[in-house]
Amino acid sequence: MIRKLFYFSSPQNFYPLAGKLWPLFACLATALTVWGLWLGMFVAPTDVQQGEGYRIIYVHVPVSWMSMVIYLAMAFWALLGLTFNTRISGMLTCALAPTGAIFAFLSLWTGALWGKPMWGAWWVWDARLTSELILFFLYLGFIALTSAIDDARRADKAGAILALVGALNVPVIYFSVKWWNTLHQGASVSLTKGSSMQQTMLEAMLIMAVAFWMYAIAMTLYRVRSIILVRERHSQWVADLPEVKAKSLEARA
């Protein structure tokens, strides 16, 4: 098992694996989205307090969860890269960041669109919202930092440290509604207390969360292949790839 993991930590072995896996995750994401949206938009009942406006939950909660999960995944790969010096780790950290940034932005965007009708404000400087905004900036900072350093290994190291230090913000976001008095409501779903939501609403939201999770994995696997290609461009196995050969025929013609 461990040996297998180290086998796939080599870009040459990970590239074809990612190529096989991403369409699978993309199909799962599509199927789950259709299922989740159908449940959420056509089956789930109207909310007693928020009317139909509550349906924003089916994007807001999944993108917000994923914006935190992706950052933790980045921190995980960063730690692995720093300790074992595995070559694929830095590339995966880089491949995760754009999807994370998009989810963090969407969390703020859908939150603003939910806040306006329910609280009467697009934005408040409350602990939950502010810490999520910091997460968005951390993603942008990571992308800017790693793309500003030309040497890939040094960029990976610098990025890894930012990812690890920034990961401290994730529990702050998660517990912000407990630690401070916030306008943002507390968790409707908790690992310890279960859920306070109606059953269909909860199911639809969880299905959407898994759908976005699958989407993030598909996108990361797809993106890491481009990163591998560029970083390994001087090695023979890249030159031998059918897609590279096809492209060079195309370029010659």
Shortest separation between residue 205's beta carbon and another protein, angstroms: 14
Nearer to another protein, 70 or 80 (CB): 70
Contacting residues toward another protein, per CB under 8 A: 41-46, 51-53, 55-56, 59-60, 63, 98-99, 102, 105-106, 109-110, 113-114, 116-117, 215, 219, 222-223, 225-227, 229-230, 233-236, 238-239, 243-244, 247-248, 251-252
Contacts 24+ apart (CB under 8 A), 75-83: 75/163, 75/164, 75/166, 75/167, 77/163, 78/159, 78/160, 78/161, 78/163, 78/164, 79/160, 79/164, 81/156, 81/157, 81/160, 82/157, 82/160, 82/161, 82/164
58: nearest Cα among 112, 110, 93: 110
Nearer to another protein, 22 or 77 (CB): 22
Nearer to another protein, 192 or 236 (CB): 236
Shortest separation between residue 79's beta carbon and another protein, angstroms: 25
Rounded CA separation 17/53 (Å): 42
Give the up-direction half-sphere exposure of residue 232: CA atoms within 13 A in the CB hemisphere. 23
Nearer to another protein, 53 or 141 (CB): 53
Shortest separation between residue 138's beta carbon and another protein, angstroms: 19
Phi, psi of 9 (to 5 degrees): -80, -5
Nearer to another protein, 116 or 153 (CB): 116
Nearer to another protein, 43 or 161 (CB): 43
Shortest separation between residue 239's beta carbon and another protein, angstroms: 6
The maximal CA–CA distance of the chain, rounded, in angstroms, is: 65
Nearer to another protein, 59 or 127 (CB): 59
Shortest separation between residue 2's beta carbon and another protein, angstroms: 31
183: nearest Cα among 125, 104, 134, 106: 125
Structure tokens that stand for 173 in this block? 């976001």
Shortest separation between residue 63's beta carbon and another protein, angstroms: 7
Segment (H or E) for 56: none
| Contact between 153 and 145 (Cβ < 8 Å) | no
Shortest separation between residue 76's beta carbon and another protein, angstroms: 22
